[in-house]
Structure 1
């Protein structure tokens, strides 16, 4: 049985055929999953909905979704699994406001769409082509492999976002609970943490149709810390990953993450992690 429930890389691809049974129990994932139906037909049980599927359909699953497939005709699934970190990587190094807005569309709204997310017939060809390229590149060890994968993934997400936007325009969005709203706000902050303008209280309030004063109170009530503290925690978590990369200097990381200077970064990192960045880097080199 193909491993489905865990992910060891921030981007992975699996492909398998289900002849008469899917072979997995109804389940959730700890990551995002794009399932492309390469051939076959049957039913997809997604959360509380049941929809028919056929060749060319594409389903986008978030960690909040629970699903399973009922096979009526031998089906080949192409699956791209990826983590939130990959979204962070794309948004952190992209200057495109359009890209960041499309990220929000994918992150915040996809799980309410039970049926295939592809609305434009021509995009089925685009998505399948990008899937094949990613599948080929992920097994390659050629020069610039990581960069090529990142760009292919970015193109795939923009095509998906185009279709998701079309789906959302024809669907009525359900009211979300406080728990879902706080999760969406925190995800938004993580996605835009390197852009001061995007994570200002005023901008967050506008993005979620709340008053600026209420945003601060709402976060404090639900997570016990301020927006500023959450931003710092998120940057420190990003710093942990960057410090494990041998080619990045501490001052370079401090600048990349928007700290005032290396001294400011050192002080905050030690406060949250108990050791200074140079000691941490030594321990993980």
Structure 2
């Protein structure tokens, strides 16, 4: 059984060098984590997958993930750890509703794959520069440090979101198994659950090079639910976490998770969970 690690701050950084061993057992977190590879090489073991890592890679880990690193060449790790509460505090600094909703889906339903999340080299430079800025601001706080940190963190999440989204750009891909393909399709739906156009059957079919008539059959066969049911399940899970972990009111959560209004949200939430939102909270 893996260990679970905890943090008391809602944003913190950690940097260390591993000469031969990572120094931690296989574990999970109660927080989110960006792990930067500042130098070195080895393997990243995330859930059931293994992939080589090298200098310039960046990994995104959620509380659902279990992982460890196996060091081949001496490696310097840079880590940014943060909680959902910080993410929601940051959201107040983002004026674009479209971006807020996109970031919500990225954070609450991350693409849990072991590969580096950096999709292009220009963003790689900026992502690593932001790590240094955030680390320096935490280590040497000055006037308005909290505001500076929130804005730096906001920029970091924007770039992360762009890189995660770009990995879903339409391109032909071969899958090693049907499980890998359905996992990718469900990840796509989760990450785009608040964009009605992108989760239409036609868009899913074009993205994964499938016949529109077969998309629904494939998802039903391998996920055990229809696309519509999976979309609602995803929204309800997101709403449940917001109810438990934030002070947002019912109307705000209904809007954030894409329901028509609080009445519609109450009805659907109770149907899926057996409780109305207030009782669930």
TM range (shorter): 0.5 to 0.7
Within a 5 Å distance, the mapping from 1:57-76 to structure 2 comes to 57-60=56-59, 67-72=69-74, 75-76=75-76
CA distance in 1, matches of 2:164, 2:271: 41
Alpha-carbon deviations, 1:163-221, whole Å to 9, x = none? x79xxx9xx95433111111111111111111111111111111111112211111111
Compare CA radii of gyration and give the structure with the larger one: 1
Alpha-carbon deviations, 1:130-186, whole Å to 9, x = none? 111233456777247545413223235547888x79xxx9xx954331111111111
Conserved? CA contact 2:34–2:59, under 8 Å: yes
Alpha-carbon deviations, 1:100-135, whole Å to 9, x = none? 9xx7xxx7797567xx96874x76643331111233
Conserved? CA contact 2:127–2:156, under 8 Å: no
CA distance in 2, matches of 1:243, 1:219: 29
Conserved? CA contact 1:13–1:79, under 8 Å: yes
CA distance in 2, matches of 1:160, 1:187: 11
Conserved? CA contact 1:34–1:58, under 8 Å: no
CA distance in 2, matches of 1:252, 1:160: 26
CA distance in 2, matches of 1:35, 1:5: 17
1:153 equivalent to 2:157? Answer: yes
Conserved? CA contact 2:22–2:71, under 8 Å: yes
Alpha-carbon deviations, 1:88-107, whole Å to 9, x = none? x99xx6636xx89xx7xxx7
Conserved? CA contact 1:15–1:77, under 8 Å: yes
1:15/1:4 Cα in 2 relative to 1: closer, same or farther (>3 Å)? Answer: farther
Within a 5 Å distance, the mapping from 1:106-255 to structure 2 comes to 111=114, 120=121, 125-136=125-136, 142-143=146-147, 145-146=149-150, 148-156=152-160, 158=162, 174-244=174-244, 247-255=247-255
1:44 is matched with which residue: 42, 45, 49?
Answer: 42
Q: Secondary structure at the match of 1:236?
A: helix
Alpha-carbon deviations, 1:57-91, whole Å to 9, x = none? 3254775987411235xx432134679997xx99x
1:61/1:264 Cα in 2 relative to 1: closer, same or farther (>3 Å)? Answer: closer
Give structure 1 stretches of 5+ with no counterpart.
none
CA distance in 2, matches of 1:152, 1:273: 34
Conserved? CA contact 1:22–1:69, under 8 Å: yes
TM, length-normalised to structure 1? 0.66
TM, length-normalised to structure 2? 0.67
* Equivalent in the alignment of 2:260: 260
